[in-house]
Amino acid sequence: MHVVTIGTGYVGINTAAALAYIGHSVWGVDVDAHKIEMLKSRKAPISEAGLDALLRLPLDLSFTTDLAECIQSADVIFIAVGTPSLPNGEANLAYVMSAAEDIGRTLKPDHDVTVVVKSTVPVGVNEMLERKIRMCVTADGGNDAYLHFASNPEFLREGTALLDTFYPDRFVIGTKDDIAYAMLYALFEPIIRQTFEMPDFIDAPSKRPETQCLRTDQISAEMIKYASNVFLALKISYANEIAGLAEKLGGNMADISRGMGMDKRIAPYFLQSGLGWGGSCFPKDSLALLSMAKDYDYEMPIVQAAVDVNERQKTRLVHKVLEKLYTLAGKRIALFGLTFKPKTDDVRNSPAVDIACELMRRGAVVVAHDPEGLALARVIYRDLGIVFCDDPELAAQDADALIIATEWPFYRSVDWAKIRTFMRTPFLFDARNLLRDQKELVSGFEYCGL
Ligand SMILES: NC(=O)c1ccc[n+]([C@@H]2O[C@H](COP(=O)([O-])OP(=O)(O)OC[C@H]3O[C@@H](n4cnc5c(N)ncnc54)[C@H](O)[C@@H]3O)[C@@H](O)[C@H]2O)c1
């Protein structure tokens, strides 16, 4: 099939490359000319395991900034552009609207095509985008009878995006249109039925998953995405709330998480306590869900509490630092980790960056290291005043305290004894509890978990 993905960010590029790998002819379109230039020379614009290797394969995969160059041959068009938060918490729909307008303006009359929204959008937005595209197509006397629409929310995780794309738990296809459903099912069939040849550029699971395919209406599909993401965020906040109480009562949170996770109904995932959730999805999706509910005067106290607990984790960490250093004015803090989680270069909405800002607001100098995230952080956060440092040992030079803000396995293998010698005082705040079970590595430090 001929496929176009509009947006070549974390979702768009992984979807495009995986679809090309299973035999489709794919175009990736983006307004970011720099990204498209990189992709044309087969370089991944993001850090994602296996993506560079996949892009180097001789796939039928092309890139452009001009939708008109590829839209006329498309059987399926994915909208995979961003939906970040507006200051009031609502999802910013400017990018999906602009993608819909581009589609509506460039489609030729009578084009038989299925338009699929992969972006995470609030309830009703699929319908709104469909209306927009139909309006544009019919404005010049075009026939919209051959247009089909579906919602197909994406569940990949940054850091394991390709793994999740090739071996997903489920596909959710929200549409009342049988043709749209049949097109999407056929497009993803090798993945749904797990019949494709397993790629060697990612670590395959020991057993192929039994991928389920759920057909729903569009509204339910839109809600499944938000309800799933916010449930995971909530699970982390619950673990953090329990961890706070465990600290007061003398319980061991590592054991508590382990013990809870042994129950199949609970499962061990998303029960690790620490600095809390961040990134480009959980924060914006929880705020968007609250904002949707507010429009209907419907309170969601559980979701609100998850957000509040997540914010409180940052305050808890700052207070712990203050308990040791008394004041932050003039103090130098080494920050290990800037990405919102390991195995990605994504520093958007990272709790590590929030912590850096709060420490600096209180007068500290923050010197930050990250194994993957420095390049993006230097661009996105160039004006914040964080000192970025490529060498963890240099970052720790003269530090009054060191904070591990992202659980990069890399920080298990640094020379902690040497780092200790560079620091002014040996306070180590392990805000991700990365070394909780290996405290012998940091025996020269005064260790404090979260
Ligand atoms: N990142 C994730 O882990 C993840 C997972 C599941 C779902 N999602 C959802 O998928 C959507 C995309 O997320 P992302 O992380 O890939 O975003 P991203 O910011 O990484 O990428 C979005 C891309 O769209 C491009 N773009 C914006 N407007 C465009 C237009 N009119 N035409 C062409 N390109 C345009 C941008 O230049 C950018 O490259 C969001 O709604 C997000 O919530 C993200």
Tell me: the pLDDT tens digits for 366-425?
A: 999 999 999 999 999 999 999 999 999 999 999 999 999 999 999 999 999 999 999 999
120 in contact with ligand 1, CB cutoff 6 A:
yes
- Is 199 a member of any domain? yes
User: In the prediction, which pLDDT does 143 show?
Assistant: 85
User: In the prediction, which pLDDT does 110 show?
Assistant: 85
Residue bearing the CA closest to ligand 1, atom 28: 95
The C-alpha atoms of residue 426 and residue 443 are separated, in whole angstroms, by 10
Q: Residue 252: which CATH number? A: 1.10.1040.10
What is the chain's length? 450
Burial 326-335 (b: 16+ CB within 10 A, else e): eebeebbbbb
88 and 134 together in one domain: yes
Write out the residue range of the structural domain in which residue 288 sits. 226-307
353 and 380 together in one domain: yes
Boundary of a domain, candidates 307, 326, 355: 307
- Is 220 a member of any domain? no
370 and 355 together in one domain: yes
| Residue 199 one-letter amino acid | P
Atom of ligand 1 nearest to the CA of 45: 39
296 and 333 together in one domain: no
Residue bearing the CA closest to ligand 1, atom 43: 120
The C-alpha atoms of residue 155 and residue 176 are separated, in whole angstroms, by 21
- Is 434 a member of any domain? yes
Residue bearing the CA closest to ligand 1, atom 31: 99
Residue bearing the CA closest to ligand 1, atom 10: 119
Domain count, the chain: 3
- Is 267 a member of any domain? yes
67 in contact with ligand 1, CB cutoff 6 A:
no
pTM: 0.94
Residue bearing the CA closest to ligand 1, atom 37: 32
Say whether pLDDT at 142 is over 90. no
262 and 151 together in one domain: no
82 in contact with ligand 1, CB cutoff 6 A:
yes
Q: pLDDT (tens digit, 9 = 90+) per residue, 9-39?
A: 999 999 999 999 999 999 999 999 999 999 9
10 and 127 together in one domain: yes
What single DSSP character describes residue 386?
P
Name the residue of 4, 6, 11 whose CB sits within 8 Å of the most ligand 1 atoms, as the mutation to test its pocket.
Answer: 11
- Is 221 a member of any domain? no
Q: pLDDT (tens digit, 9 = 90+) per residue, 105-127?
A: 999 878 899 999 999 999 999 99
- Is 247 a member of any domain? yes
344 in contact with ligand 1, CB cutoff 6 A:
no
448 is catalytic: no
Boundary of a domain, candidates 215, 239, 264: 215
201 and 328 together in one domain: no
178 and 299 together in one domain: no
Boundary of a domain, candidates 154, 181, 215: 215
209 and 252 together in one domain: no
Name the residue of 64, 77, 81, 224 whose CB sits within 8 Å of the most ligand 1 atoms, as the mutation to test its pocket.
Answer: 81
Residue 289 and residue 303 in contact, taking contact as beta carbons nearer than 8 Å: yes
CA nearest to 430, candidates 400, 450, 409, 408: 450
- Is 7 a member of any domain? yes
- Is 353 a member of any domain? yes
Residue bearing the CA closest to ligand 1, atom 4: 11
Tokens of 100: 């819909």
Catalytic residue among 70, 136, 213, 281: 281
Strand boundaries in 109-168, DSSP class E? 113-117, 147-151
292 and 333 together in one domain: no
83 in contact with ligand 1, CB cutoff 6 A:
yes
Q: What is the largest CA-CA distance in the chain?
A: 76
Say whether pLDDT at 190 is over 90. yes
229 in contact with ligand 1, CB cutoff 6 A:
no
Say whether pLDDT at 204 is over 90. no
406 in contact with ligand 1, CB cutoff 6 A:
no
SS3 label, residue 215: strand
CA-only gyration radius of the chain, Å: 23
Q: Backbone phi, then psi, for 311, in 5-degree steps? A: -65, -40
Rounded to the nearest angstrom, the distance between the alpha carbon of 96 and the centre of ligand 1 is 9
The dihedral of CA 100, 105, 106, 110: what is its sign? positive
343 and 249 together in one domain: no
Tokens of 193: 């039925």
Rounded to the nearest angstrom, the distance between the alpha carbon of 60 and the centre of ligand 1 is 22
Q: Residue 340: which CATH number? A: 3.40.50.720
Residue 291 and residue 305 in contact, taking contact as beta carbons nearer than 8 Å: no
248 and 289 together in one domain: yes
164 in contact with ligand 1, CB cutoff 6 A:
no
